[in-house]
Structures are given as C-alpha cells and as structure tokens.
Amino acid sequence: MKIPIQWCMAALLALPMLGLAQQPANTLNAITDGAAVGDGVADDTAAINAVISTANAQGKDVYFPAGTYWVTGQISMKNGVSLFGDQNGISLLKASSLKVIGEPDNNGSTVANLAVEDLFFLNLSLNLNGNQKDNITVRQCAFATTIGLGADGFQTVVLSRGANCVVEDCLFFCAEADWDDNGIKGIQNFSNTDMVIRRNIFGLDLGNLTWLDTEWKGYANWMNPEARLLQFKAEEGLPNRMGAMKGAMRLNECRRTLVIDNIFNMDPVACGVEQHAGNMDVDHIIYATQAEDVEIIANWFRGHPNSPAGGLKHRDTAGPGVIAANYFVDTPLLLYSYASDLTHGLDNQLVYRNHFEILTDEATFGRNGISYYMSDTLAGVNNKIASNTFECADGYSSISLHNGDPSEWKVYDSNRYISGAPIEVEGNNAPYSTLSGAPSASETSPYDGYVVPDLDIPEYGEEPAVPPSPGSAQFEVLEDTYVKQADPTGNFGTASTLNVRKEGTSEINAFLKFMVSGITNGIVSAKVRLYSLHDHTVGIWRVNDVAWSETSMTWDGRPTMDETISTAAALTEQWVELDVSSVVTGNGTYAFGLKTTSANYRNFSSREGAGIPTLLLTFAEGNNDLDGDLIPNGWEEEYFGGATNAMATADADGDGFDNLAEFIAGTNPTNAGSFFAASSTNLSSGFVVEWSAVSNREYGVWHSVSLTNAFTNLASGILFPQNSYTDTLHAIEAGGFYEVDVKLLP
C-alpha cells in the first residue's frame, strides 16, 4: 500500500528552551541557583555540595537540568533534600574513579525523608548508611559502572540500618572492566526494615533494547527510555554488554523485604564461573543471609551459572519467607543452613509456583533447580516446596536435599516436569518420597494471582529483530558509470568504482540505472544501497532520461539531473542507503545521479566492484489495509491481534495519541509510555532538539518565539537514523518553542 506523504503528526516542545521537562516545584536549580556547570568538563563537586546545603537550609530540594556533572569527590546528601533530574533528557553525575554520593558513615547525621529520581550515575555509589536513614525512595534512575574496582568492592545502591525504603523502576548495568575479588553488586540492603525493591532491571545489552516496552513493567514510568539509553551509550562510549555483575542484590540481616517484578539479566559470558577461575567467582544473583520475612515474587532470572555460586541463595534466613511465581532461566535456588558466623537456621520458607528452565547439568549438586544444604539436623523446621514446574528432560533430579535430614522439608507431589510427570527428589537416602496434598490455602492463596513472568528477552549479543516487511525485493544495478568535467569525452563505464567530486571545474558525477519488474502491489519504500569507500555527504538525483549507456556516456553527453531526492552521510567501508521512494512507484526503468559535497575524490563500489549497488524495495502483499483505516494489516495484527481490530481514532493506551498517530510515529499503541515526544538540551553549540527516530519516516523541526506566533521551519527532510537537530540561530534568545513533525515516507 502506498502511504500518502501528507499523513503527519507533530510533537510540540511547548516549554522554554532550557528543556522539555519543567523544574519541580520547591527546588533549587543546580546550575542557575547553584554554581554547577554541567558540561562534563568543569569539576562540579563543590558546587553540588553547596547547592544541597543551601537547599537543606531553605527547606527545598535540588533539580539537575540535563547535562553532565563531573564529580571528583564525595557528594554529601542532607536530611530531607531530594535530588531530581530531567525526566526527558540525561542528568548525569559522572566520575572517573569510584565515588560516593550520600552519607556512608554509620555514625553520621540523619539523612531521611527524601527521594532520588530521574538521575543517571556513572561510577558513583548511592550510599546511605546509618540508623537515621529512613523513608528514602530511589526511583527511575540509571546506575552504570565501567571501571575497575579496589579491594573493597562496590555496591551501586547501599541502604543500611534504615526503614521504609523503596528502590523502583531503576536500571543497574556494568561493563566487564576489571574483575577482581570484589566485583560490582547492585543493591546492598543491610539491616533495613520494611524495604521494597520492584520493577528494576539488573544487567542490560545496550545493543538490543527492543524488548523494554513489552517485557519491563517499569517502562511506562520512564519517558523514552530507549532513546535516552542510546544517547547515554553514545555520549559515554559505553559497550553493548553491560551485565557483568558479581551479584545483583544482597539482603543481609534485613526484616520484611519485598522483591517483586524485577528483571535479573546478567551476561552469562561475563558471569560464568569458568570465565574468572582463580580470579573472581560470581556471588549469587541474590544473596539473602540471616534475613527475616523476605518475599521474592514474580521476578525473572537469567545469566548467573547453574552452580553453587550462581543461584539465588537463602542462607540461614528466618520465616515467614516466600519465593513464589518467579521464572528461573538456568539459575538455581540454593537454600542453605550452616553455622559459621551466622545464626544457625533456615525455617518457615515457602517455595511455590516457580518455573525452572534448566539448560545445563551441574554435577556438584545434582542437576538441580532447587537445592537444599544443611550442615546438621535442626528442630522445628517448617519449609515447604509445592507446585513448581521444571522445564527440562524428565528424569533430571531437579530438587536436591543434601547434608541433613530431608524429612524436615515438605516436598509435595505437585512439583512437576513441564510434561506433567512427577519430580523425583534426590536426597541423602535417595530417592526421597514426596508428599500428597498441599500447603494450607492460607499460606498459598496470597500468591496464586501472580503471573509467572515468562519473558522474551534477547540473549546478549543477539541482533535486534527486524520487523517483517509486507514484502520485499532487491534489484542489482543494471548499468553504472561516472563522468569527469576535466575529461569531457572520457568514458569510465567499466571501472570498479563510481567516483564523485565537487571541485570547481573538476566536478565528477556518477550515474546508476535499475530495472524493476514483477511487482504486482504498491511499493511502500525504495532505497538505493551503495558501498562507500570514504566519509562524505552524498546526494541522489532523479534522472528522467533512461536511454543512456554506461559504455558510451561522457561528461559532454551526460543526461540532466532533474531534481534532488535525498541525501545521506556515507562512512568509510560501510553501506549507505538513499531513499528514492518518491520516484520508484512500480515496475519500470529508473535512473539516478550521484553528487557529493566533498572537494576530494570520493568513491563507491560499482557493479564491477565487490559491493554492487542495489535497489531495495518493500511492497504490500495483496490488500494491505482490509478495513481501509489507513493502518496496514500487519501493524494491527501485531498490536491488536487482527487485521481489522484497531480503530484509527481510538486511543488504546490513553496517552493522548490515537492509533493512526501511533502508527505514523512508529510507537507502541498499547503502552502509555510509548509516544512521539521531543526534548531539547541547551549546549554551548546551540539548542539540540532530539526525538526518537524510526525508519521509513521523515522529520522536520520548527521554531516559534511563542505559542501564539506562527512556527518557522528550521529543517525538513530529516531521515532515520538522524534523531537530532542543533539550532544555533536561536541559542542566545531567552526562551522559545520547538515543534518536531513526523510523516511517513511515500
């Protein structure tokens, strides 16, 4: 189906040019009210400490506009002073060596009743330790670590000896920089009471974020997380694989802790025990020691090895405790009771309705999903394992009870292989008989309503899935050549390169010809694909005359280049695609010319070279819009389950954009957090306007001094993957408004 180019929508930056996000009420601006610079160069440590102290004295909070704040020493937080970042941009606190923000001294002053929201941290630990660290919320923050560690290790968020704390909707990711005996850990919860840890992600592959909007429950609480993470990656030079964590969470001597709806996505290569033999072993994806009343519910685990060091470990924890409705991908559950320096005992634990996907055989502890180790016999133990499912070959001993009295555990026959066959339990006197019946309804019913999260998260290194096209075809170039102004009668039709140059009387242009046939339905998009041998900007032109021959064309006899179609940035030894959808509309012969803005020789591979120019087409198959609502069948099927199920004017997710607008923008119509939006950042070079770009769309940027005045076009014809525009014209103005529009390419 041909998509009319006039279908378009716009995202309006209806705010002063200091940024899209409004500064929260009752806050001091770290830059305009304080002395921070936020340019990533100036040392902002003293300025940040000063503005926090001022906010404390005035009963206010601190807002960090989008920017990079360079930190070289400790940032001290103050009682009641919350820290906020830009919800739409990146407010980054960055250090080159591991630094602390917070109050790590157990004997320090009271730091309580505050929030840390919408901030990015690079190589900083948020550490609040002490008896007066209560009522703290950490929300919608990103914690990244890229450097090696010292002897003391590093925890990105430490909350100790406090009460009523929450960590939610945060991202924790770490590069494999320099493993040692104390690798990176995510959250350290020591001796806290009543703590909630929910909807966080531990470990990310920044090369593939396509799953966030469908699999992560915290997605709707962020503004454009994919675009912001990709910007963060690009600006800081982060690697793709950021899942190298020794452990995601430590729960030590804490009481009443809820861990729910989190994604533990460790990198199996970085975290595999064999990768760090003799150097650093992983230390459990969650490690709970001497804790009381811990509930671990509806989480997804992957990446730590199926071994005694890699699983979710409960050691000497007291009940009532629950591990329920979780999904374990080759990650074991290790239930330990032994003395050492801890209070001896593991009791009143319910392991219920979990799914274990077992992929590898760990001989040391049987081929286990659940393993229990007890150093001796304890009295009064009341632990129960019921209704767990094991996705592995029948016959795996997926529940192993070792080194103690297995009778102190009640293992019910409701534990089954995915085939429905009952589990055979391995024990000291194997086989161990299971029990009929079930735990009491009062114990299990609170956890029956949770959905076990069988998530579809790509493996590390897996390329993002390319949405299927309605149909596609490609045609190699039929003829190609170039002509030289300095050699007006020369012919270069058999050369292995297509040369271009823009230099006075020495201009060089290239020509290509394609023949399209066999297309029976409307073309959705058409792109000329070229292999570039140099960096430069190339433009493709329409050539109406298709009668020329590559073996006879000269500068004097060259056809006219009628109009420019599109431009693109070509990179050395990479493919570049030039959109020609406005010209290629069906079967026939098409010719194009190439020009460059470079004064130097710039080359592409010709059909005689290694990288043959190609015309790539996508086209509709059959009737691509059965209900005639201007939304393709495939899009309606993907999001609404049927080719006619989406009403174009309906707003399914209530985000203010109807389904037709979501289709045009390339956003998810079933997720309120996915919509077309733009942001601006004030840099020394000008205002940078950014948006989330997708393929087969064209973007334009507009500006006005007020909402009552007309908008003036600053740029148009901006194509994916470009997703920003720098406005130097209005940089000195006190304020203004931007509008970004998006429309489908024909």
* 8 A C-beta contact, residue 381 and residue 346: yes
Q: What digits encode the pLDDT tens for the residues 173-206?
A: 988 754 554 456 788 888 889 999 999 999 999 9
Q: Is the pLDDT of residue 531 over 60?
A: yes
The closest alpha carbon to 206, from 295, 149, 144, belongs to 144
Two domains, one topology: 472-619 and 677-744: no
445 phi and psi, to 5 degrees? Answer: -60, -30
What residues does 251 pair with on adjacent strands? 189, 288
* 8 A C-beta contact, residue 172 and residue 267: no
Q: Is the pLDDT of residue 617 over 50?
A: yes
The pair of three-digit structure tokens given for residue 719, joined into one six-digit string: 């194509």
Q: Evaluate the omega torsion of the peptide bond into residue 721 and state whether it is cis, within 30 degrees of 0.
A: yes
Report pLDDT for 665: 84
Give kind and range of the element (H or E) at residue 175.
Answer: none
Report pLDDT for 278: 39
The pair of three-digit structure tokens given for residue 163, joined into one six-digit string: 């009460």
Report pLDDT for 734: 63
- Model confidence at 497, in pLDDT bands (50, 70, 90)? very high
Scored b (16 or more CB within 10 A) or e, 623-641 reads ebbebebebbbbbbeebbe
212 phi and psi, to 5 degrees? Answer: -60, -45
Report in angstroms the alpha-carbon separations of 678 from 103, 169, 213, 699, 738: 36, 22, 18, 11, 9
Higher pLDDT, 421 or 445: 445
What residues does 610 pair with on adjacent strands? none
Report pLDDT for 405: 65
- Going from N- to C-terminal start, the domains of the chain cover 472-619, 677-744
Percentage of the chain exceeding pLDDT 70: 84
Looking at domain 677-744, its CATH architecture is Sandwich (2.60)
* 8 A C-beta contact, residue 409 and residue 385: yes
Q: What digits encode the pLDDT tens for the residues 299-331?
A: 999 988 777 778 898 887 877 899 999 999 988
Q: Which fold has domain 472-619?
A: Jelly Rolls (2.60.120)
